[in-house]
Structure 1
Amino acid sequence: MSLLVRRLIYAFVVVMTVALSQPTNAQKYAITDLGTLGGTESFAYAINDSGDIIGYARYQGDTTSGPFLWSNGKMTDLNAYYGPEQGFYAGIMGNINNLGQIVGNSSDGHAVMLSQGEVTDLGTFGGDYASALGINDLGQIVGYFALPSGHHHAFLYTDGVMTALGPFGEEAISVATAINDSGMITGFATDSYTVSARAFLYNNGIMTDISPFDSRESYARDINNHGQVAGEYLPYSGPFRCFVRSEHLISDLGTLAGIDCVALAINDQGEVVGSSPAVVGTEISCDFETGMCYEYPVYSWHGFLYKNKRMIDLNELIPSDSGWELEWAYDINNKGQIVGYGTFGAPSLYRAFLLSPVTRTTIRIKPSHVFNKINFKRGKKIPVAILSSESFDAPGLVDKSSLTFGAVGDEASLIGCDRKQKDVNGDGLKDLVCKFSVRLAGFQCGDTEGILKAKMIDGTPIEGKDSVIIIPCK
C-alpha cells in the first residue's frame, strides 16, 4: 500500500473524544512557527547545521505556492530571489547542505541547484523531467529522472556530469534519496514496476540490497556521515516499521502505536525523525439492533524522534496547550533541531515548524540574598544572575534582547543588564546579571519558582529556574 493511500485512510478517521497524552522526561524543545509567504499554510522539508530551512508555502490568497528559505528568523521567497533575472520558477526544493546550496526541481521539470544567487540547471538526463533530492557538502547531488514510460531512474550529479545508477532494465525503477560526504548513496529500486521496491546502498560503484529482516518491501530515505541508513520496511505480516541500518547491525525502531511508520532523516548522532500514527482518542460505534457499543482507538499521523533507543511522539515534547499537532518531521540536523509541519490554531491549518532543543542553564534569583523573597506589591526590580560555566560564557553568549522572566518565563519584564560583569557564586567565572520588573513578571501568591528564558546569539534557546517566596500573602 502506498504512503499516500495510507495517509488518506487515516485522514478520514473521525475523532470523537478528548486527545490522549503521555508525560515524558525527555529533552524539552522550543517551537517556532516559520510563517508563510503571505498565505495561510507552509511546509518545512530540510534543515542544515546552521539552522537554514527550506520548504514550501502559500502565497497571499492561497491560490499559488512557492519554495522558501528560512534563515535567522526571516523567510525568503526563492522565486522572488532567483526568478526575475534568470527566468527561473521553482517547484519543490528537496534539500540544503551546510554550504547553503539548495537542490530540487524547477517548474519546467528540470533538476536544479540554487547557490549564492545562481541557478544551475542539472537537466533531465534525456528524460521527461528530473528532481534533485539530496546534496552533500561536496556539492554531489542525487535524485531521479523520469523516462517517457513514467519509470524513474536514480542519478548522481558530480563535477557537472549526471550519471544514471542501476538497475537499468526497461521496466526498472530506482530513486536516489540521499548522499553523504563519503559519496555513499541510498534510496530504493526494483527491476520491474510489478515487483516491490527494495532499499539500496550504492558505494564504490556497487548497488547493494539492504532490505532489513524478512521484508517484502523497503525504502531507504537518508544516510548520515557514518554510513547509517534510515528508512522503513514492510514485513510479510504486519504494517510498515522503521529501521536503521549500520555497517554490522540493523535496528528495528518500531512504530508509535503499532500500525505504521516512515523514517525520513537521520543525523550524525544516529537520531531519526519521521512520522507514525499515534493514538489520539477513541470513537464509539454502536449496533442499534443489538444495543451493543464498542470503543475503538483513533489514530493520527504524528512526527517522532527516535533517540536513545526510544521512539518519542514530538507532541510529548511541547506544551499540551500550545495549539500545535505536529504531524510530519522531515529532517533533523546535527544540533538536534527538527523541522516539519503540523496543524496549528483554529481552523487547523498546516504550518511549518522548527523544534530547537532547550539548553538548561543555572540562574540565581536575587543572588545576594539568602532567601529569594519577592514583594509583588511593593518591589520594583528583581535581579537575576545567569551563571557561567566552563562551557558556557553567559555574558558573551546570551542575546540580552531575548531575555524574558517571570512566573511562566514568557513575561517581557526585562529592565536591563549590568554593564559590569560579576562573579556572583565565587567560581572565578564572570556571570550575567540582569534586572526585571516585579510588576511585569506576573508573580502571584502561591508561586514557588521563577523561570528565565532567552536565546543565545546563535539562536539556541536556553531556560533556567530558581525558587522564589512571594510576599505578602496573608
Structure 2
Amino acid sequence: MQVYRFIRSVAVGFFVLLGWCATGAIAAPSYRLIELPFIGPPDDPFNDTSATAINRVGDTAVNFYGAFGSSALHCNRLSCVTVPPLYVPHWPAVSAGGINDAGLVLATSADLSLSTHALVFDGTTNTRIYGLPDDLCGGCFNDSYGRGINNRGQVVGSAMGSDGRERAFIWQAGNLQELGTLGGSRSTGTAINDHGDVVGYASTASGATHAFVYRRGRMTDLGTLGADWAEAYGINGARQVVGCSGLPDGQTRPFTYSNGQMSALPSLGGPTGCATGINQGGFIVGTATTPAQEEHGFVHDGARTWDLNDRISASARAKWLIIGASAINHRGMIAATGMNRQNGVVRALLLWPRPESTTQQ
C-alpha cells in the first residue's frame, strides 16, 4: 500500500507538470488543501502547528507550539514523527528548520546545560551541531541554530562564538565552516541549494543588514530595495534568490534576485510581504498582507502574485484561511499554514496542485 501511494503521487505530479508544459501556461494552479496530521497533548489549551519546509515527496517539517513547550515534527500525509529533544525539561523547546529528500530533518533544541544546538534527525538518532570552535568555556556560548538543509546533507544557520558574535555557517559531516559577514559583526544563513550556495543576511560596516549569497568561498552583497535592510530566505538550483527588503517609504516587499539584479515582486496590496521559498520552475511562495491588513500566503508564477486563498476550493476556503506559505517543492506542492475559521486553531497544511485547468477553483 505504501509503494502504491508513492507511485500514485509521482504519477499525479508528472501529469500536473505535463499539463503545464502542454499548454505553455505558467499561471498558478488551483490546489487541493490537505490537513496534515496533528500530534499534541489533548489537554493542551494551546496546540498550534505551522509548516516550515517540504521535500520532493511532500514530507513536511512542522513546528508544534503548546502551553507546555514546542516540538519539531516530520510529517507525511498519514502520520508525524516527533524529533527527540536534546534534553527533556518540563518545557521542551525544539523548532524545525528544514527537511531534505532523504527525510533528514533539521531542528534546533536546548540541551541539559541550556545551550541551544542545531541537530539533524535521521528518523532514529540526532546528530548535534556545535557552535564556533573557539568557544573557551566548555559549551556555554557555542550555541547554533539550524535554518536549512540540502540533499547533500549540508546544513546552514547561525552559530555563536566565545565573544558572543553570531556568524552564518555551513556544516557537513561534523565540519563547521564560518562564512563571515559583509563587514559588520553578525550574519545568518537561511537556505542552501544542492550546489552548496548559501543565502541569508549579514550586517555591513555601517550597521545595515543586507541579503547575501555565499558561493565558492565568497560572500556577495545583494543590496536592498532602497532601505537599510534586506534578508534572503530561498535559493533554487538556477541560483535565483528570494527574500524581502524594506522600501524607502517604510513598507516591506518580497524580492527576487538573479543575474546581478534585485527586483521587487508584486504583493497582495498591503504594506508588507516576504518571499520564503522558490522551486526549480521559478514559482515563489511567501506571506504578505492584504489591504485589510490580514496576512495571507501567496504564490508568484513568474508573472502574477496569487493569494493562495483564491486558489483553493470554496469548501476549503470556508474552513481555512491560509495565513502563510513557507516552501514549495519542484513538483509545485506547498508547505503552508492556515487558521481554522471556526475555532481559530492554527495548523500546518499541504497544498497539492490540481491537474485540471488553472482557472478552476
The alignment's TM-score, normalised by the length of structure 1, stands at 0.61
- Deviation of 1:104 after TM superposition, in Å, equals 2.0
| Structure 2 counterpart SS, 1:174 | strand
Q: Does 1:197 align with 2:209?
A: yes
Deviation at 1:246, TM superposition (A): 1.2
| Contact 2:277–2:328 (CA under 8 A) maintained in structure 1 | yes
Q: In 1, Cα distance between the equivalents of 2:83 and 2:279?
A: 26
What do the CA deviations read for 1:407-462 (whole angstroms, capped 9, x no partner)? xxxxxxxxxxxxxxxxxxxxxxxxxxxxxxxxxxxxxxxxxxxxxxxxxxxxxxxx
Post-superposition Cα deviations, 1:28-63, rounded to whole Å, max 9, x if no partner, equal 11111113213542111110001111111246xx43
Among 74, 82, 92, the alignment partner of 1:69 is: 74
Q: Corresponding residue for 1:348?
A: 344
Shift in Å, 1:90: 6.4
| Structure 1 residues 168 and 227: CA distance shift in structure 2, 3 A | closer
After TM superposition, list the pairs within 5 Å mapping 1:231-250 onto structure 2: 231-250=243-262
1:313-339: CA deviation from partner (whole Å, max 9, x where unpaired)? 111112344311111111111111111
| Other-structure match for 2:11 | none
Structure 2 residue aligned with 1:277: 289
In the alignment, structure 1 residue 141 sits paired with structure 2 residue 143: no
Once residues 62 and 164 of structure 2 are traced to their aligned partners in structure 1, the CA distance between those partners, rounded to angstroms, is 26
What is the DSSP-based 3-state SS (H/G/I as helix, E as strand, rest coil) of the residue aligned with 1:315? helix
Match of 1:44 in 2: 51
- The separation in 2 between residues aligned to 1:151 and 1:317, in whole angstroms, is 44
Superposition deviation, residue 249 in structure 1: 4.1
Partner deviation per Cα, 1:238-282 (whole Å, 9 max, x = no partner): 411111111254332122114111111111111111111013xxx
Change (3 A) 1:65 1:238: closer
Partners in 2 of 1:153 and 1:189 — Cα distance?
Answer: 8
1:418 corresponds in structure 2 to none
Match of 1:329 among 320, 325, 331: 325
Paired residues of 2:59 and 2:74 also in contact (CA < 8 A): yes
Q: How far apart are 1:150 and its partner, in Å?
A: 5.1
1:178 corresponds to:
191
How do residues 246-265 of structure 1 correspond to structure 2 at under 5 angstroms?
246-265=258-277
Cα distance in 2 between the residues matched to 1:218 and 1:248? 15
2:32: which partner in 1?
Answer: 30
**Counterpart of 2:185 in structure 1: which amino acid?**
A
Q: Residues 210 and 224 of structure 2 are in contact (CA less than 8 Å); yes or no, is this contact kept in structure 1? A: no
Partner of 1:305: 299
Give deviations 1:310-365, integer Å, cap 9, x for gaps.
1111111123443111111111111111112121142211111111101239xxxx
Deviations 1:121-166 (A, max 9, x none): 1112234411111111111111101346654211111242111111
- The letter of the residue matching 2:32 is A
Moved more, 64-73 or 44-53: 64-73
The answer for the alignment partner of 2:15 in structure 1 is: none
Match of 2:130 in 1: 123
Secondary structure of the residue aligned to 1:322 is: helix
Cα distance in 2 for partners of 1:26, 1:185 equals 27
Instruction: Give the secondary-structure state (helix, strand or coil) at the position aligned to 2:214.
Output: strand
- Give the unaligned 5+ runs of structure 2: 1-26, 42-46, 136-140
Q: Percent identity?
A: 29
Q: In structure 1, what residue type is equivalent to 2:80?
A: M
> 1:167·1:189 contact (CA, 8 Å) conserved in 2?
yes
**Greater relative contact order structure (CA < 8 Å, 6+ sep):** 2
In 1: Cα distance, 2:167 partner to 2:87 partner: 28
* TM-score after normalising by structure 2: 0.79
Deviation at 1:91, TM superposition (A): 1.3
What is the CA RMSD across the aligned residues, in angstroms?
2.5
SS at match of 1:46: strand
2:99 maps to 1:96 = yes
**2:38 alignment partner AA:** T
Q: Which amino acid aligns with 1:265?
A: G
Aligned equivalents of 1:191, 1:238: Cα separation in 2: 20
Q: Find the aligned partners of 1:152 and 1:27 in 2 and give their Cα distance.
A: 41
* SS state at 2:313 partner: coil
Contact 2:131 2:161 in 1 (8 A): no
Residue 309 of structure 1: CA displacement? 1.2
Paired AA for residue 135 in structure 1: I
